[in-house]
Amino acid sequence: MAKEHPILETRDLTIRFGGHVAVDHVSCAFERGTLTAIVGPNGAGKTTYFNLISGQLSATSGAVLLNGETITRLSVPERTDRGIGRAFQLTNLFPTLSVRENVRLVAQAKARKGFDLFTVAESHVELLERADHVLSEVRLIDQADQTVSVLPHGDQRKLEVALLIALGPQVLMFDEPTAGMSVDEVPVILELIQKLKSDMDRTILLVEHKMDVIRTLADRIIVLHNGALVADGEPSEVIALPIVQEAYLGKAPASSGEVA
Amino acid sequence: MLTRLLSGDTPRSGLLTALLLIVLISLAFAPFLFPGTKSLETAARICIFIVLVASYDLLLGYAGIVSFAHTMFFGIGAYGTALALSTTGPNYGSLIWGTAAGAGVAALFALAIGLFSLRVKAIFFAMVTLAVASAFAVLVSQMSWLTGGEDGLNYKIPRELTPAFKLIKAKVFDVSINGKILAYYLVFFAAAILFLVMLRIVNSPFGRTLKAVRDNAFRAEAIGYRVVWYRTTATVLSAVMAALAGSLLAIWLRYTGPATTLSMEIMIDILLMVVIGGMGTLYGAVLGATLFILAQTYLQNLMGVAAEATSAVPVFSTLVAPERWLLWLGVLFILSIYFFPTGIVGRLRAGRA
C-alpha cells in the first residue's frame, strides 16, 4: 500500500491571511529518498508552506498527506510523532539548557519518556548516549556542556540540525540551514544533509538561497512565486527557466553567472 | 545513596550545602535546640512553607507558569482536613480521608483551570487563576454554615498529637515529649518526604521537559511534546503538593480560616520567597521560606531591641521602631532582588564557577 503513495504530498494546499493568499493551491508530491529544494524570492511563501506541512499553521483549504494519510488537521506534536521533522530558519533552541540537554530532550521525546515522573533523567543512559552520538556527528561534542545561549551562531545552526538528526523523522525540512554561517562552516552542514539523504534514505525538503548549495544537493527544484507553484523539475532545467531567472534571481536570463 | 535520595540534584556549592545543612539540622532538632512555643510554631511554619513554596516553584520556576491560585489549593487542602476532623471526629481515619479529599479536589480544580486556560497566553492563565482564587475566597467566607466564614474552623485532632498527650514521663534535654512534639515531627517528616518527592519530579524526564517548555514552548511542540498536557500536569502536581501543605497546616494549628490559608497576602509572601530563594531551584524554596519566615517572626523583636538600644539617637531610633518592620522587610527584599537577581541559590551556584 505504501508503495502507491508518495511519502509526502500536498493537494491544493492554501492559506489566506485576510485578503492575502500566502500559499495558493500548491499540489506537489515528494518521493522517498529525494532532496527537493524549494526556491523563490522573499515573501514567496516558502516558510509558510513549511509551516503548513509541519502544522504551525493550519490550512484554509487543501490537504497534507503523509504516506497517503491526511494529516491536515493534526497538531504539531502529532505530526512530529508520525515522522515530520523541522529545523527552523531563525535559531529556535532551548537557550538556558546545555547543548547536550537540548539533544537529549529530543531523544527523550522520541522514546516517549516525557511523562516519566519518578525516575532521574540522567539514569536513562541510552538517551545521553544517543545525544552524544549525534553531537559527535555534527562535531559539537566538545561544546556539549555549554549553555546554548552563549554558543556562537554557527554552532547554534549545527545544533539546530543535530536536533533534527536526533529526531530521525521520515521527512526532514530544513529552512535555510546555512543562513548566517561562515564559509568554512557551511560544508559541515551540507555534508550532514548529504549523508542523511544517501545513508538513511530520508526525504528532505530544503529552502535555500545559495544556488551552489542547491546544485550540489538537490534532485529536484520547485519554485514558489506569490504563493503559487510556478516551476518543478530537474535542477538544471529549472534554473534555466526564464521565470526562475526572473522571479527568483530577479534578473534577466542574459545576465546569468554569479548567483547570490 | 544520598545522591539518589536527592535525585542527583546536589546543592553544587559548598556554602549552599552548609546553609542547607544548618536549616535541616535546626528544623530536625528544633524542639530541643530552640525550646519554647513560639520557636516551635516558627519551625513548623517553616517546614510547611518549604513545601508550599517548593510546589509554587515547580510551577513558576520550572514550568514558567504564573499562577495566583496557589493559596486556593493550599486552602483546599487545609479545609479538607479541617472539615473531615470537625465532622467525623478527631481520629486518624478522618485525618487521612480529609487530606486525601483535599488533595483530590485541588487536583480536579487544577485540571479544570489548566485545560480551560493553559492553551492560551500566559497572562490569561494568570488572570483566570486570580479570578478563580478571589471567587473561591469569597465563597469560603460566605458559606459560613460549612466553613465557619471569616472566623474559620476550630476542631480537635487525634489526642496523640496534642500537648495533653505525654509519650514518656522523663524529659529529654529538659523538654517533655508530648503530643505537640509528635505533631511537629509529623509535620517535619511529611515536609521532608514531600520535598524529596518534588526534587525527584523536577529531575525526572518530566521535570526536564517542563524546563524545555518554559524555555521554548514552540520548539517543544515541534520535537513532539504536547505542551498543554505538560503544563496541565505541572499545575495539577503543584496544586496537590500545595493542598498537602495545607493539610499539614490544618493539623498543626488545629484551626483553619481564610486568614491563615487563603489570603492574597500569603500568595504574595510565597512569590517573594520563591524569588528570594531563587526560581527554578527547589533548594531556593528552603532558603527563601526559612529567611522570610524568620524575618517575619523575629524582625519586629530585633528592631524592638535595636530601638531600645539606640533610644538616645533621635532619628535612627524612630526608623528602627518595631512597627516599621514591614518597611525594613521591603528594603531587604529590594536589596536581595538587586544584588541576587537569580536568588540566593542562583548566586551561590554561580559563585562556584
* B134 touches A at CB < 8 Å: no
Domain boundaries, chain A: 8-92+169-255
pLDDT digits (tens, 9 = 90+) for A28-45: 999 988 999 998 888 889
A244, pLDDT greater than 80: no
Angle subtended by helix axes A153-167 and A99-110, to nearest 10 = 20
Burial of A102 (0-12, 13-18, 19+ CB in 10 A): buried
The pLDDT-based confidence of A250 (bands split at 50, 70, 90) is low
- Residue B203 touches partner A, C-beta closer than 8 Å: yes
If DSSP states are collapsed to H, E and C, what string results for chain A?
A: CCCCCCCEEEEEEEEEECCEEEEEEEEEEECCCCEEEEECCCCCCHHHHHHHHHCCCCCCEEEEEECCEECCCCCHHHHHHHCEEEECCCCCCCCCCEHHHHHHHHHHHHCCCCCCCCCCHHHCHHHHHHHHHHHHHCCCHHHCCCEHHHCCHHHHHHHHHHHHHHHCCCEEEEECCCCCCCCCCHHHHHHHHHHHHHHHCCEEEEECCCHHHHHHHCCEEEEEECCEEEEEECHHHHHHCHHHHHHCCCCCHHHCCCCC
Give tens-digit pLDDT for A183-238: 888 888 888 888 888 877 789 999 988 888 888 889 999 999 899 998 899 988 88
Give me the residue spans of the domains in chain B: 2-352
Q: Which of A76-90, B87-101, B132-146, B317-331 has the lowest mean pLDDT?
A: B317-331
According to the per-residue pLDDT averaged within each range, which of A119-123, B102-106, B303-307 is highest? B102-106
Q: What is the mean pLDDT of chain B?
A: 90
pLDDT of residue A78 exceeding 80, the answer is yes
Q: What CA–CA distance (Å, rounded) separates B223 from B208?
A: 14
Mean pLDDT confidence for B282-290: 95
- Predicted local distance difference test score (pLDDT) of residue B3: 84
CB contact under 8 A, A94 and B208: no
B171 CB-near residues (< 8 Å, 6+ apart): B177
Length of chain B: 353
**Mean pLDDT across B309-334:** 80
Q: Which three cell numbers stand for residue A40?
A: 523563490
B221 CB near a chain A CB, below 8 Å? yes
HSE (CB half, 13 Å, CA atoms) of B61? 29
Residue B127: partners with Cβ closer than 8 Å, 6 or more residues away: none
Answer whether B343's CB lies under 8 Å from B288's CB. yes
- Identity of the residue in A75, A95, A108 whose CB atom sits nearest the CB atom of B215: A95
In 3D, which of A172, A185, A174 has the Cα closest to residue A38? A174
Mean pLDDT of B47-71: 95
- pLDDT for B314 beyond 60: yes
Asked whether the predicted pLDDT for residue A174 surpasses 70, the reply is yes
**Chain mean pLDDT for chain A:** 88
Contact A75 B216 (CB under 8 A): no
Distance of CA B236 to the CA centre of its chain: 16
Q: What is the distance in angstroms between the Cα of B218 and the nearest Cα belonging to chain A?
A: 8
Could you tell me if the ipTM is greater than 0.90?
Answer: no
What pLDDT score was predicted for residue A240? 83
The residues in B 54-73 lying below 8 A from A, measured between CB atoms, are none
pLDDT at residue B99 tops 60? yes
Gap between the Cα atoms of A25 and B327, Å rounded? 65
CATH architecture of A8-92+169-255: 3-Layer(aba) Sandwich (3.40)
Are the C-beta atoms of residues B258 and B109 closer than 8 Å to each other? no
pLDDT at B7: 84
Is B210 a residue whose pLDDT tops 80?
yes
pLDDT > 90: percent of chain B: 61
**Cβ neighbours of A110 in B, within 8 Å:** 224
User: Does position A87 have pLDDT exceeding 80, yes or no?
Assistant: yes
Residue B287 above 90 pLDDT?
Answer: yes
Class of domain B2-352: mainly alpha
What's the mean pLDDT in B225-237? 95
Residue A258, number of CB atoms within 10 A of its CB: 6
A247 or A52, which is more confident: A52
